[in-house]
Structure 1
């Protein structure tokens, strides 16, 4: 397949180069040159997750990889389910937290790791990524102990949940974690600086595993097809999907699924008080504010990196941005939504609760709603228990790491120190 740099369309690469390179010139994102709708949607919906995902990804990637190779990559990456659970008569939850790090990022992180294992030569690869919570764990576990690959994860100190931190900051080995005395946006800015440093890129074989990497984005498309396949014919007719949105990779993947022919009626971008996109959609001005810390910390992003891809897709497909639903919740409203879900018999966490709340506000009588649950409630044990006033179960994936020592380094917002660390690995 061919992809172009949104910021510089003269830079065109194939899928392998886009995966290995991460970002294009000028920190531009790669985007597919053509998006041809699938012709066999009904047949795909009858397949299992691995076989269907193989078909979808092979269609996107083209003849660059054989279908057998894609199937091998997918079968190693997608080793867990993504069930749809009924919440009310017309609202369902898509649970994306059944992977090894209990978050939706496991789909993209593991697919990318398997792609790089397929593509890598004898040279060294250094994965540098920023995380507001779940990306770090998914990437760290996906690449843990892989030969000739070092992973460095930057995260905002004190701004992710303690169990999130324990999940990826206790591994060691080829995984280096850095607690940055700043925000996620500060971490992301230093990642971008690293990609602008050509000497550094070449010296360490720099790559990123954020949702800016096209392989992660493509992997996420697959669970929208999986969710649709689990719904009955009536539920599929007027489906509205609400997506908790921080860096906007998840929503981008859903919109790409729609562009491939998956008949989702419309989407809702649900954010917390870091509401750059809702304000932009309401007033037409792109004015990021300082990032504020919220209960839904994985969405504490004021300058979402994937938004240019969404605008590019709407332009290519001749869709109107006015068709995209949006809304935001503050922490008090998030607590109320979480409590409402618990009273319905569904245990959720702050990010999913925000998506649920916006869905209930915007869903029409003849529509079916689906909201994405992007992480296991136990990853936010302290806040969820405080809100609901009861203990919640801790899965083994978290319990086994809860008492381990953190291995993170602590840095100020200083790219020179990050660069020095990268060169020392």
Structure 2
């Protein structure tokens, strides 16, 4: 399939080229201009891996063989995404059963498979920013992968200690940089890297944020998995609330709807960094300074994937009525964690934001799903403070909690980042 640069439409590339490149000219995002027709009922009868392979084959066309896509999906999606009932009309899609206990494992692991195909033996340097979970998913997906160096920027002191330990303790081909700034500054530094054509070519630089199309395509698949687990008589009344930061996850859900999946409405749930809810009401795109919240992975004031949402609207495959944008403040986030606990469901701040937004949105007769994007133990301190009870660590977190972090502190200064990247080449 051909993908078009949203900003520079004359730039068109294949899927594998988009995977290798990450961003297009003028920092434009690659995106399809048309969508395949799928037999939704037949797909919903299948298991996660088989169904996901068919969805991705349909999206990629004849660029990769069915056997190749099957193998990629089988290696990437080695864990479930269960839909767990929380109340009669509400369930949580748990996306945290992968190796780094976060939804980013789906996209990160599929991207690792796609990049291995796209590389064809050449070397790549992945430069990416994380507001929490991307770092661990990308680091683990590419850890010790031949020919790949990974550089992860994260806002120092603004992600949970356990999130940080999951990716700063690996070493080897994983370099982690603690930036004195917020996530938007980290993301701005990554974008500056891509503006340096000579540097990008010299180091074969790529990005693994949700701006990379392979990660986005992988995320589409678990929306089908969610609906497949909904009772058949409720499938046409499904409303899905997505905790939204950089808006890749919401975009993937909207694509699933555009492909024909019966999602009645998508709820974009943000924390106090509410650029999109304000824009949705006023029509004015006015990002404010990022504020730190309990749901730190969503502390994003200028979401990079929003142009893809606008592209879907412009293509006419999604309408404005398909999206509701809701801001959930800190008090309501705490209340959400507590209310879920009272229902017998242990959750964390990001899912609580989605739960509270869903509760506000849901009408009589509808079936609500909110996304559980990370294991509660990744936010152990916050959850323990809110609920007043100790939280046990799963093995993956207990293992890395005692290890020494290997990150290097840097200012939010492009010249310093460039030096760090050039040092990698000399190493």
What is the CA–CA distance in structure 1 between the aligned matches of 2:87 and 2:313, rounded to whole Å?
Answer: 32
Question: Paired residue for 2:378?
Answer: 379
What is the CA–CA distance in structure 2 between the aligned matches of 1:192 and 1:314, rounded to whole Å?
Answer: 25
- C-alpha deviation, 1:323, in angstroms: 3.7
Question: Paired residue for 2:336?
Answer: 337
CA change 1:323–1:227 in 2 (3 A) is: closer
Question: Paired residue for 2:278?
Answer: 279
The DSSP-based 3-state class of the residue aligned with 1:346 is coil
Deviates more, 1:339-348 or 1:312-321: 312-321
What CA deviation, in whole Å up to 9, does each residue of 1:185-236 have, x standing for no partner?
0000010000110000010000000000000000000000011111111221
- C-alpha deviation, 1:320, in angstroms: 3.2
**Match runs of 1:381-400 below 5 Å:** 381-400=380-399
Displaced runs of 4 or more, over 4 A:
none
Deviates more, 1:146-155 or 1:114-123: 114-123
Question: Paired residue for 2:224?
Answer: 225
**Match runs of 1:246-265 below 5 Å:** 246-265=245-264
Question: Paired residue for 1:32?
Answer: 32
What is the CA–CA distance in structure 1 between the aligned matches of 2:195 and 2:362, rounded to whole Å?
Answer: 43
Question: Paired residue for 1:80?
Answer: 79
Question: Paired residue for 2:365?
Answer: 366
**Match runs of 1:270-349 below 5 Å:** 270-317=269-316, 319-349=318-348
What is the CA–CA distance in structure 2 between the aligned matches of 1:133 and 1:125, rounded to whole Å?
Answer: 23
| Matching of residue 9 in structure 1 with residue 9 in structure 2 | yes
- C-alpha deviation, 1:135, in angstroms: 0.1
Question: Paired residue for 2:193?
Answer: 194
- C-alpha deviation, 1:10, in angstroms: 0.3
What CA deviation, in whole Å up to 9, does each residue of 1:49-90 have, x standing for no partner?
110000000000000001100000000000000000000000
Asked whether the equivalents of residues 37 and 259 of structure 1 are also in contact (C-alpha less than 8 Å), the reply is: no
Question: Paired residue for 2:22?
Answer: 22
Asked whether the equivalents of residues 281 and 322 of structure 1 are also in contact (C-alpha less than 8 Å), the reply is: no
What is the CA–CA distance in structure 1 between the aligned matches of 2:217 and 2:30, rounded to whole Å?
Answer: 12
What is the CA–CA distance in structure 1 between the aligned matches of 2:180 and 2:221, rounded to whole Å?
Answer: 36
| Matching of residue 132 in structure 1 with residue 131 in structure 2 | yes
Question: Paired residue for 1:54?
Answer: 53
What is the CA–CA distance in structure 2 between the aligned matches of 1:94 and 1:209, rounded to whole Å?
Answer: 24
Task: Could you tell me which runs of 5 or more consecutive residues in structure 1 were left unpaired when the two chains were aligned.
Answer: none
| Matching of residue 416 in structure 1 with residue 409 in structure 2 | no
Question: Paired residue for 1:144?
Answer: 143
CA RMSD of aligned residues (A): 0.8
What CA deviation, in whole Å up to 9, does each residue of 1:336-379 have, x standing for no partner?
11100000000010000010001111100010000000000000
Asked whether the equivalents of residues 130 and 183 of structure 2 are also in contact (C-alpha less than 8 Å), the reply is: yes
CA change 1:349–1:72 in 2 (3 A) is: same
What CA deviation, in whole Å up to 9, does each residue of 1:228-280 have, x standing for no partner?
11111122121000000000000000000001110101110000000000000
- C-alpha deviation, 1:322, in angstroms: 4.3
**Match runs of 1:162-241 below 5 Å:** 162-241=161-240
- C-alpha deviation, 1:137, in angstroms: 0.2
- C-alpha deviation, 1:319, in angstroms: 3.7
Q: Aligned residue pairs: how many?
A: 424
What is the CA–CA distance in structure 2 between the aligned matches of 1:320 and 1:48, rounded to whole Å?
Answer: 30
What is the CA–CA distance in structure 2 between the aligned matches of 1:253 and 1:285, rounded to whole Å?
Answer: 24
What is the CA–CA distance in structure 1 between the aligned matches of 2:114 and 2:242, rounded to whole Å?
Answer: 26
Question: Paired residue for 1:403?
Answer: 402
The DSSP-based 3-state class of the residue aligned with 1:8 is coil
What is the CA–CA distance in structure 1 between the aligned matches of 2:64 and 2:269, rounded to whole Å?
Answer: 36
Q: TM-score w.r.t. structure 2 length?
A: 0.98
Asked whether the equivalents of residues 265 and 321 of structure 2 are also in contact (C-alpha less than 8 Å), the reply is: no
Task: Could you tell me which runs of 5 or more consecutive residues in structure 2 were left unpaired when the two chains were aligned.
Answer: none
Q: TM-score w.r.t. structure 1 length?
A: 0.99
- C-alpha deviation, 1:170, in angstroms: 0.1
What is the CA–CA distance in structure 2 between the aligned matches of 1:33 and 1:363, rounded to whole Å?
Answer: 32
The DSSP-based 3-state class of the residue aligned with 2:11 is strand
Asked whether the equivalents of residues 3 and 18 of structure 2 are also in contact (C-alpha less than 8 Å), the reply is: yes
Asked whether the equivalents of residues 7 and 29 of structure 2 are also in contact (C-alpha less than 8 Å), the reply is: yes
- C-alpha deviation, 1:121, in angstroms: 2.6
What is the CA–CA distance in structure 1 between the aligned matches of 2:147 and 2:122, rounded to whole Å?
Answer: 7
Asked whether the equivalents of residues 335 and 387 of structure 1 are also in contact (C-alpha less than 8 Å), the reply is: yes
